[in-house]
């Protein structure tokens, strides 16, 4: 969500994955009895001082959706400039819906946001909002999930921050906080139950921002409880015991040298040069491209097949040699 989300301020969440836990009543977390004091302490801590990301100053569903999609597994400090540039280019949902998809994907790759299909889905979601909802975003998590590429997590984020109408968030930061503070079992169902029980009714906007800020500022992998003035120290199991272990979380693979990076380069090159044959495209995306080498035609065909599956390129294999171009 648009707060301090993910490991090292990046979203480490797979948005369309259902909770895999199978918690029993015996595993239910024992939360503090004075939940009002717990809630007040966190909200007051957050409202006294928090990181001033620009999307925290808006309740515009379009702007929040853009920030949420960009923030998935991307460090927030990198997202700020990309988010501002994106809104300069396409300031509202109507502008994005009318944009050329290739331009949107090209923007995504030029800002190293990774996973180009997110740009494609964001563009398609904008078209849905304009064509099916007269430019007005659905206001519930269920309604937002009808948009292309918007899974449960992102839908809840937009509902929470744009409409104050979401459920309790459960991302990597929140799991770590609940696990440490209240000894919640490392189980998706247990985390969902604890997060829901803690969130004040009708306060999803401030609460979800606050609890993720806690995880991103005070309860990081290496915690800074006293330095950050963690408001939950008096209740925190980890603070009392000194055991600051945390649930296992997926590690984001390196972008440098990855297939994601080279797929992005393919999109950029085709956007600049138009249709190209394999042996014209290859050297432009990799200096050690050799037609019959490890990074040659077979490797490049694999990248193009991925991009074809994502609906980003068209491949023509009917002539003397394969060519590729961006899909209109």
3-state secondary structure of 77: helix
> The tokens of 174 are what?
């929140």
HSE of 163 in the Cβ direction (CA atoms, 13 Å)? 19
Q: How far apart are CA 174 and CA 193, in angstroms?
A: 12
| C-beta of residue 160 within 8 angstroms of C-beta of residue 212 | no
3-state secondary structure of 241: helix
| C-beta of residue 322 within 8 angstroms of C-beta of residue 278 | yes
- Residues catalogued as catalytic: 68
| C-beta of residue 74 within 8 angstroms of C-beta of residue 68 | no
Burial class of residue 47, CB neighbours in 10 A (0-12, 13-18, 19+): exposed
3-state secondary structure of 277: strand
Helix axes 259-273, 278-285, angle to 10 degrees: 120
């Amino acid at each position: 969500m648009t707060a301090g989300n993910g490991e090292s301020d990046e979203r480490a969440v797979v948005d369309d994955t259902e909770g895999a836990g199978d918690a029993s009543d015996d595993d239910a977390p024992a939360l503090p009895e004075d939940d009002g004091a717990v809630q007040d302490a966190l909200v007051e801590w957050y409202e006294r001082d928090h990181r001033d990301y620009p999307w925290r100053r808006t309740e515009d569903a379009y702007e929040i959706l853009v920030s949420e999609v960009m923030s998935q597994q991307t460090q927030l400090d990198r997202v700020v400039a990309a988010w501002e540039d994106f809104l300069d280019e396409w300031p509202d949902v109507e502008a994005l819906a009318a944009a050329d998809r290739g331009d949107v994907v090209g923007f995504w790759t030029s800002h190293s946001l990774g996973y180009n299909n997110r740009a494609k889905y964001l563009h398609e979601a904008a078209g849905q909002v304009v064509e099916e909802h007269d430019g007005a975003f659905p206001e519930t998590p269920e309604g937002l999930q009808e948009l292309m590429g918007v899974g449960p997590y992102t839908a809840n984020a937009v509902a929470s921050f744009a409409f104050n109408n979401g459920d309790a968030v459960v991302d990597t930061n929140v799991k770590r906080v609940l696990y440490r503070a209240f000894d919640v079992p490392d189980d998706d169902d247990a985390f969902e139950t604890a997060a829901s029980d803690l969130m004040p009714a009708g306060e999803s906007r401030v609460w979800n921002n606050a609890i993720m800020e806690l995880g991103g500022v005070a309860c990081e992998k290496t915690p800074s409880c006293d330095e950050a003035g963690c408001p939950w120290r008096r209740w925190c199991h980890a603070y009392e015991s000194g055991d600051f272990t945390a649930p296992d979380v997926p590690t984001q693979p390196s972008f440098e040298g990855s297939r994601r990076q080279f797929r992005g380069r393919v999109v950029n090159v085709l956007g600049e040069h138009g249709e190209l044959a394999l042996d014209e495209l290859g050297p432009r995306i990799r200096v050690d491209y050799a037609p019959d080498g490890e990074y040659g035609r077979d490797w490049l065909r694999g990248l193009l097949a991925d991009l074809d599956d994502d609906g980003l390129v068209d491949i023509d294999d009917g002539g003397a040699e394969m060519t590729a171009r961006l899909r209109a």
